[in-house]
Amino acid sequence: MQQHIVSLPVIWFAALVLATLLCGSAARAKLLDQILRGYEIAANQGIPLNLKGKDWATVGLGSYLVNTTGCNDCHTHPNWTTTGNPYNGEPEQINTAEYLSGGRVFTTPAGMFTSANITPDKRDRPAGLTLAGFLEVMHTGHDPRDPPGDLLQVMSWPLYRWKTDSDLIAIYTYLQAIPSLPDNSNPGP
């Protein structure tokens, strides 16, 4: 009996250590799953990635986040190739020729807004934004190059502001790895 009472805290401690270890490895496994899925999407859709000087895991996570978070819906116009529209029951093929180069026009009660080209510029800056500028856009909806108080419209920053900084950095890093494209020359709804 005495022995049992003494060993109780030991058992609790062991359980705590085990739970921590299991949780840690489950979280790592989940992250790895997302990184690999990010690469699976890029390979499946034929999106070339420039990994030079970039962290492999961060780019993979960024691909997972960008390609499953709706950026393509608004920032690629048209979204799909003529024979790759999943809404027509065709095998999904993203319009890689215009991938994330903007040009989708939204008509709202506040006016007309065109999604921006968020591919990297010649200095490897997505949408021409530094990481600090990108984080400001995603956290506040304000582009630091716009006049004070201006807020981006339509863009889903009120949702994205809740993403962790490490997720936003992964998104930025992925956008640095995709091909640089000129602004979409054929904007439309």
Q: How far is the CB of 156 from ligand HEC (least distance, A)?
A: 4
Rounded distance between C-alpha atoms, residue 92 and residue 107, angstroms? 27
Rounded distance between C-alpha atoms, residue 92 and residue 149, angstroms? 39
Stretch 78-107 residues interacting with ligand HEC (CB under 6 A)? 106
C-alpha distances in Å from residue 187, one per residue of 52, 68, 112, 148, 151: 31, 23, 12, 27, 21
Using alpha carbons, select from 93, 122, 94 the residue that is nearest to residue 182. 122
Rounded distance between C-alpha atoms, residue 28 and residue 23, angstroms? 9
**Which residues contact residue 32 at a Cβ distance below 8 angstroms, ignoring those fewer than 6 apart?**
none
Rounded distance between C-alpha atoms, residue 179 and residue 86, angstroms? 24
Among 45, 81, 96, 113, binds ligand HEC (CB under 6 A): 113
Candidate ranges 15-23, 52-60, 90-98, 127-135; the one touching ligand HEC (CB under 6 A): 127-135
Does residue number 156 form part of the binding site for ligand HEC (CB under 6 A)?
yes
Q: How far is the CB of 179 from ligand HEC (least distance, A)?
A: 16
Cβ closest to ligand HEC, residue 36 vs residue 131: 131
Candidate ranges 15-23, 90-98, 147-155, 181-189; the one touching ligand HEC (CB under 6 A): 147-155
Does residue number 142 form part of the binding site for ligand HEC (CB under 6 A)?
no
Cβ closest to ligand HEC, residue 64 vs residue 160: 160
Among 35, 47, 74, 181, binds ligand HEC (CB under 6 A): 74
Please give the structure tokens belonging to residue 61: 């996570």
Rounded distance between C-alpha atoms, residue 157 and residue 97, angstroms? 26
Q: How far is the CB of 12 from ligand HEC (least distance, A)?
A: 43
Chain residues binding ligand HEC by CB under 6 A are: 66, 69-71, 73-75, 106, 113, 115-116, 118, 127, 129, 134, 137, 143, 152-156, 160, 171
